[in-house]
Amino acid sequence: MQESFVAGQEALLYFWAIGDLHYRAVDPWQRAHVQRLASMYHDLHELWSQEGLPAFCASPGDLVETCEIRDYQLAKATILLELERVPFYPGVGNHEFYGPRGELPVHMGETYTSVWQKPLRYSWSEGVVTCIMLDHPNPHNLDDPKRVFISDETLHFLNATLEANPNGPAVIFLHCPLYNTVLERNSERHSDFSSLDYFFAPVNSDAVRDILAQHRKACLFLSGHTHSGWETPGLVKTEQLGGHPVTFVNLMSPWYTGNHTGPTLNKAQDKLDYLPDAPNVVPTFAFRIYEKSINIRVRDHKTKHWLKEWNIAL
């Protein structure tokens, strides 16, 4: 695929985003995981040596499979080692609140903040671009754990941060996609988890959209959670909100994509079976934000090829 960056223009921001990584400090899981992600890290290093380092990498949640401290320690040590000089911004997902050993829910968020030295929700600036990492709700605090509901505190944080930074583009990260964005490749086979299911998209997605509609600089909304497969409808979807475009991107997952696929660990935790998706891709996304457009590319690190490119007007 030919690269088509905006000729003669310097990007306001170049960054990389990675979907659900699911580090787990269990030997058979870790062996398969290392082997799977080796192509990703190796290809990223090659790309960055050619194109230059991005301003940062971000991953909006499910960096770990469980909230056990050893999973966190493995994830942080590996990611920071592999990314080297590239700053990394983590998010919190539903798996950060998964405690297989009966961990107390009240301590799960504390583990995340202690290890990553980040609050559950936060923002940072890259030049004129504002980046906002929102928090996936703690399922233990929901009326129904299978129905995601973004808290009033998180909605207020999103609105207040956008209000405080009105003069440049804004990129929002949230673990789960909004309702009716990313869908399924084959609904009869239930080939993918879908944003039409309220476990995978917030019941109050309209409340998030209402805030985005009020702020013309909100241009990108990046999520993971669904492990959507390649060419799933709505992987990249632009909506007109409040008279301006907002582009929603589902980051897939380099660990596995699709439903009925991925890792299966036996009860003794000494054997793991891995079923790949078709197509079997190891995807991550590169973003360049310009004054009047956004360039989005998705890379398959397994084949070292760009899968697709989008150029979206602002």
Q: What is the set of domains in the chain, with CATH numbers?
A: 13-313 (3.60.21.10)
First and final C-alpha spacing in the chain = 23
Tell me the pLDDT tens digit for each residue of 185-215.
999 999 999 999 999 999 999 999 999 999 9
Q: Give residue-wise pLDDT tens across range 238-296.
A: 999 999 999 999 999 999 999 999 999 999 999 999 999 999 999 999 999 999 999 99
Q: Which residue has the higher pLDDT, 106 or 86?
A: 86
Contact 109, 117 (CB under 8 A): no
> What's the rounded Cα separation, in Å, for the pair 91 and 218?
19
Query: Percentage of the chain with pLDDT > 90?
Result: 93
pLDDT at position 5 over 90 = no
Residue 2 has pLDDT above 50, yes or no: no
Give the confidence band of 58 by pLDDT, cuts at 50, 70, 90: very high
Judge whether 201 and 195 are in contact, CB under 8 Å: yes
| Residues linked to residue 297 through DSSP beta bridges, in sequence order | 286, 309
Q: What is the pLDDT of residue 105?
A: 85
Q: Note the pLDDT tens digit of each residue in 12-42.
A: 999 999 999 999 999 999 999 999 999 999 9
Residue 96 and residue 113 in contact, taking contact as beta carbons nearer than 8 Å: no
User: What CA–CA distance (Å, rounded) separates 125 from 148?
Assistant: 28
Strand 293-300 to strand 283-289: parallel, antiparallel, or no bridges (unpaired)?
antiparallel
Q: Which DSSP symbol is given to 26?
A: S
pLDDT attached to residue 4:
52
Q: Where are the beta strands (DSSP E) in 33-163?
A: 57-59, 88-90, 122-126, 129-133
Residue labelled with tokens 């150029």: 311
Q: Would you state the pLDDT for residue 103?
A: 84
Is residue 3 over pLDDT 80? no
Specify whether the CB–CB gap between 215 and 163 falls below 8 A. Answer: yes
pLDDT of residue 97: 96
Whether the per-residue pLDDT at 67 is higher than 90: the answer is yes
Please report the beta strands in the chain, taking only residues with DSSP state E, as ranges in sequence order.
Answer: 13-17, 57-59, 88-90, 122-126, 129-133, 170-173, 218-223, 236-241, 244-250, 262-265, 272-275, 283-289, 293-300, 305-313
Q: How far is CA 82 from CA 57, 85, 251, 282, in A?
A: 11, 9, 19, 16
100 vs 131, residue with greater confidence: 131
Residue pair 35/110 in contact by the 8 Å Cβ criterion: no
Handedness of CA 210, 141, 132, 4 (dihedral sign): negative
DSSP structure class, residue 195: T
DSSP state of 162: H
State the average pLDDT over residues 131-153.
96
Burial label, 20 (beta-carbon count in 10 A; 0-12, 13-18, 19+): buried
Please return the burial class of 270, using the count of CB atoms within 10 Å of its CB with bins 0-12, 13-18 and 19+.
exposed
Can you give the pTM of this predicted structure? 0.96
The mean of the pLDDT values for the chain is: 95
Phi then psi for 274, rounded to 5 degrees? Answer: -125, 125
Of 99-103, 124-128, 283-287, 300-304, least confident by mean pLDDT is 99-103
